[in-house]
Chain A
């Protein structure tokens, strides 16, 4: 289990770096799919198989297909000369490095809460994690679920309006 964690984290971080550094957007899209699969592996290791399946279906399936389709539609590999200048690179690396150090400091020095809920691994395994998530989604989280449907509806209309020929 420990070795698997290191393998997945290496794949995830390596492919995330490749997403940021590759010049061709199609290459970085494929590396992003690899990163999503590694993260799905993490979810399986954390005993959340439903989230892992959603990750692969929604992210690697739907969203990445959308992004790759737009890359092909716009024929971006033909467009060149989009190099970022040196100042931008230095400032970006500094900002993300400082952010990383701050987060690591917080993670290591922060007070850790004791486990307080009742959903241990054994209980989730006994009920089945899809059933647990479904029960909560349709009872306690009913209102956010409905709002999410409205949000998706608005997104459909918005995407149509943006991609239309004339506003």
Chain B
């Protein structure tokens, strides 16, 4: 189980890195999906180790939430692009002052 958890934590940290350093809104969403997937791998590995089934059920709900999140987020991306003409997240500064 430890090996799976180490791989999952590596993928999670790479996803977090992408969320922090990238400026393209779409790539930030993709890094977010990476983090979701790392969490899923952790759930499946732990529930495999503990001989439980609830982690596998939870993975399905995480997938539902990820699908809903992707639809909403890409809707926001389209609205943002229509407003600004770019998907650079530094241009989202309406709340700045």
Contacts and interface: CB of A to CB of B under 8 A. Distances in A.
Interface of A: 5, 9, 12-13, 16-17, 19-20, 25, 28-29, 32, 35-36, 39, 42-43, 46-48, 50-51, 54-55, 58-59, 62-63, 66-67, 70-71, 73-74, 76, 79, 82-84, 88-89, 91-93, 95-97, 99-100, 103-104, 107-108, 112-113, 115-120, 124, 129, 132-133, 136-137, 141, 144, 148, 151-152, 154-156, 158-163, 165
A159 B1 CA distance: 38
Contacts of A141: 57
Nearest to B1: A112
Nearest to B19: A92
Contact of A59 (B1, B31, B37, B72): B37
**Dominant SS among interface residues on chain B:** helix
B64 A148 contact: yes
A115 B30 contact: no
Interface of B: 1-7, 9-18, 20-24, 26-27, 29-31, 33-34, 37, 40-41, 44-45, 47-54, 56-57, 59-61, 63-72, 74-79, 81-82, 86-88
Contacts of B14: 13, 16-17, 19-20, 96
A25 B79 contact: no
A54 B63 contact: yes
Contact of B74 (A50, A67, A95, A151): A67
Sort A-B residue pairs by CB-CB distance and give the 7 closest, nearest first.
Answer: A162-B75, A92-B20, A155-B68, A20-B18, A117-B51, A117-B52, A92-B21
A116 B23 CA distance: 45
A159 B72 contact: yes
Contacts of A156: 71
A152 B68 contact: yes
Nearest to B37: A39
B4 to A, nearest CB: 7
Contacts of A152: 64, 67-68
B79 A51 contact: no
Given A70-B74, A104-B6, A36 B18 contact: no
Given A28-B27, A96-B13, A133 B70 contact: no
B78 A66 contact: no
A99 B64 contact: no
